[in-house]
Amino acid sequence: MDEDSHTMDIAVEEENLAQAIGRNGQNVRLSSELTGWTLNVMSEEDAASKQQKGQTLLLRHLSKN
């Protein structure tokens, strides 16, 4: 979640991914409009991978300083 840019990653189970996004992105688009946030819907596996990459980058940055 990034409060400054009003974006949020939402992880859902793979079998629910299509339903969360909706036909032509309708569900996630409506949710974004209602909340005023940009919502990035992804599978739990993709979210875990993204989190791992972020942690790796953070550790590299901290080890340089």
pLDDT of residue 53: 92
Question: Is the CB of residue 7 less than 8 Å from the CB of residue 14?
Answer: no
- Give me the pLDDT at residue 65, please: 65
Segments of the chain scoring below 50 in pLDDT: none
What CATH number matches the domain at 7-64, 3.30.360.10, 1.10.472.10, 3.30.300.20, 3.90.1300.10?
3.30.300.20
pLDDT at 2: 84
pTM of the predicted model, to two decimals? 0.73
Reported as a single tens digit per residue, the pLDDT across 29-47 is 999 999 999 999 999 999 9
Query: Which positions ≥6 away from 29 have C-beta within 8 Å?
Result: 22
